[in-house]
Structures are given as structure tokens and as C-alpha cells.
């Protein structure tokens, strides 16, 4: 007989970041950031250019060694056991670059092999059809539209069924229809048991997709809550009131806390 406790949902966070510090020489890009992402949660990381979002993602992916702090993916330390941790991760970068001369079918087949997945040709075709690219099987990657390339990139990122998906500005440059389709895809991944961490500059996207969001600036975590919770928490902040035009929005909170100057 199964132990009832073994059937209960795992309460541990899917991602646990504690005291993360990232430095490039003498410059500190991430300073003492701590946060947790729940299982089945869509979590947004917001911040201006240069705020530390990419450095945080790089530390989570194990691409750089932090100066201090820990990153646990499903309880696995990314520095101590990188292979086991990375096996739990899927990553879609803002600008994905696949072999431009290969067809969609060839690219999916190639990455299935890299992940040591046994997927038949019919199975690969089905996956491609499921993302609406069934009529584009013979097209090369470079001939696809931006939205089509994003859909293919997301398919590759989840091919091995990761339990945590990292998305770096996934809808940047997409038209409204493609953006909405990608939102639906993200929600379906969560419905299938996955968790998602995404970075975005779109406040509309953060409110529409994310369960909780964190705002980071100059390497420091400024605030964290649900989108509605952030608005309620900061609506009386003088910095937010100063920039608001009418009812306070998430964008007002973001600009009030991070400043209105343009970042390069």
C-alpha cells in the first residue's frame, strides 16, 4: 500500500535562490538576491536593461559561478551537481539561433538525439503540427517568421519535458496574435505540471501571464508579490504616485521604483 504522505504534493519550491551574488571583476551585477518559485507557478522577473535579470538567469542555468549564494533546482544544487540540475531545466533565449540551413524537422530530430530521446519520425511530425507548423516541415529555420521561430524554439526547450522552463523575453518582437498564442502555450505547459520563470519588459504580459512577479534593479530585489499585490502595496508610494496617470498600474509601480530614465 502506498504511504499517503508519498502521494501528497511536494511542498518544496521548484527553484530556491538564496543570497545570490554575481560579480564581473569589481562590478556587482546581482547583490544578495533571494527568492523561491513554487511548483506549477508562472513567475516573472522584471527590471530595466542592466538590472541583473540576465546574470540571474545565467547563474540559474549554471553558465556562470556566483561569488556567493546557492541555486537549487528541484532541490539539486546547480554548482555541485550541474548535470542533474540542468536535466531539469529547459531554456529559451531571447534570440535563439539554430542551424539556419536545416529544416524544422531536421532541427527537432537533431535536438531529440542530443537529449537522448527516442522519438519516431511520426512523433516528431506530431510535435511540430501541435505548435502549428505542420505545413512548414520542409522549411529552413532562416525562412521562418519571427513568431514561427519562437514557437520552434519553445518546442526545443521543452522537448525533454523539463520541470522548470526559463524564458528570456519570449515575446519580444512578436505581433499581438503571436504573443497571445505564446501565452496560451506557456499556460498549457503549466497545466501539464511545469513551472516557468520568464523575464519581460511588458507589464501587460506580466499581468496577463504571471502568478507572481519580482522587480529587480541595479542587482537588488526591490519587491515581490502578485501583480495585484504589488499595485496594492505600492499605490501610496510617493514615487509611484508621481508617475501615475489615473489609477495606479503595474507599469506605474515599475517606473516609480526603478526610475524613469532610459537605460541602454
| Spatial CA neighbour of 89 closest among 15, 34, 28, 29 | 15
Q: How confident is the model at residue 182 (pLDDT cuts 50, 70, 90)?
A: confident
Report the sign of the C-alpha dihedral through residues 128, 129, 132, 137, in that order: positive
Kindly report the average pLDDT of the chain as a whole number.
89
Question: And the C-alpha cell for 226?
Answer: 502578485
Q: How confident is the model at residue 58 (pLDDT cuts 50, 70, 90)?
A: very high
Q: At what angle do helices 176-191 and 146-157 cross, to 10 degrees?
A: 10
Q: What is the pLDDT of residue 60?
A: 95
Look at 17-31, 98-112, 226-240, 246-260 and tell me which has the smallest mean pLDDT.
Answer: 98-112
Measured at the CA of 184, the angle between CA 180 and CA 186, to 5 degrees, comes to 115
Rank 14-18, 131-135, 202-206 by mean pLDDT and report only the highest: 14-18
Cα(213)–Cα(227) distance, rounded to whole angstroms? Answer: 6
How confident is the model over 190-216, as pLDDT tens digits?
A: 888 889 999 998 898 999 899 999 999
Cα(37)–Cα(253) distance, rounded to whole angstroms? Answer: 22
pLDDT of residue 7 exceeding 60? no
Q: Phi and psi at residue 89, in whole multiples of 5°?
A: -105, 145
Question: And the C-alpha cell for 145?
Answer: 517568421
* 36, 143, 156, 256 from 15: Cα distances, Å: 6, 36, 21, 28
pLDDT of residue 4 exceeding 70? no
Look at 42-56, 149-163, 220-234 and tell me which has the smallest mean pLDDT.
Answer: 149-163
pLDDT of residue 175 exceeding 90? no
Amino acid at each position: 500500500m502506498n504511504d499517503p504522505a508519498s502521494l501528497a504534493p511536494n511542498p518544496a519550491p521548484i527553484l530556491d535562490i538564496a543570497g545570490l551574488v554575481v560579480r564581473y571583476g569589481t562590478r556587482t551585477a546581482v547583490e544578495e538576491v533571494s527568492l523561491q518559485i513554487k511548483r506549477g507557478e508562472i513567475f516573472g522577473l522584471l527590471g530595466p536593461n542592466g538590472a541583473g535579470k540576465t546574470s540571474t538567469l545565467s547563474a540559474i542555468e549554471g553558465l556562470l559561478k556566483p561569488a556567493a549564494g546557492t541555486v537549487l533546482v528541484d532541490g539539486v544544487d546547480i554548482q555541485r551537481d550541474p548535470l542533474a540540475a540542468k536535466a531539469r531545466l529547459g531554456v529559451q533565449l531571447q534570440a535563439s539561433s539554430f542551424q539556419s540551413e536545416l529544416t524544422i524537422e531536421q532541427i527537432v530530430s537533431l535536438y531529440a538525439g542530443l537529449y537522448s530521446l527516442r522519438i519516431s519520425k511520426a512523433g516528431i511530425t506530431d510535435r511540430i503540427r501541435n505548435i502549428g507548423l505542420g505545413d512548414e516541415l520542409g522549411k529552413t529555420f532562416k525562412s521562418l517568421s519571427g513568431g514561427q521561430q519562437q514557437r520552434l524554439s519553445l518546442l526545443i526547450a521543452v522537448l525533454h519535458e523539463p520541470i522548470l522552463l526559463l524564458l528570456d523575453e519570449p515575446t519580444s518582437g512578436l505581433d499581438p496574435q503571436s504573443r497571445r498564442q505564446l501565452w496560451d502555450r506557456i499556460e498549457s505547459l503549466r497545466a501539464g505540471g511545469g513551472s516557468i520563470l520568464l523575464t519581460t519588459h511588458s507589464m501587460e504580459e506580466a499581468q496577463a501571464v504571471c502568478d507572481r512577479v519580482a522587480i529587480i534593479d541595479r542587482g537588488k530585489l526591490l519587491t515581490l508579490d502578485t501583480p495585484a499585490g504589488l499595485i496594492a502595496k505600492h499605490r501610496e508610494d510617493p514615487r509611484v504616485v508621481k508617475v501615475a496617470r489615473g489609477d495606479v498600474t503595474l507599469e506605474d509601480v515599475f517606473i516609480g521604483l526603478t526610475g524613469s530614465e532610459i537605460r541602454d
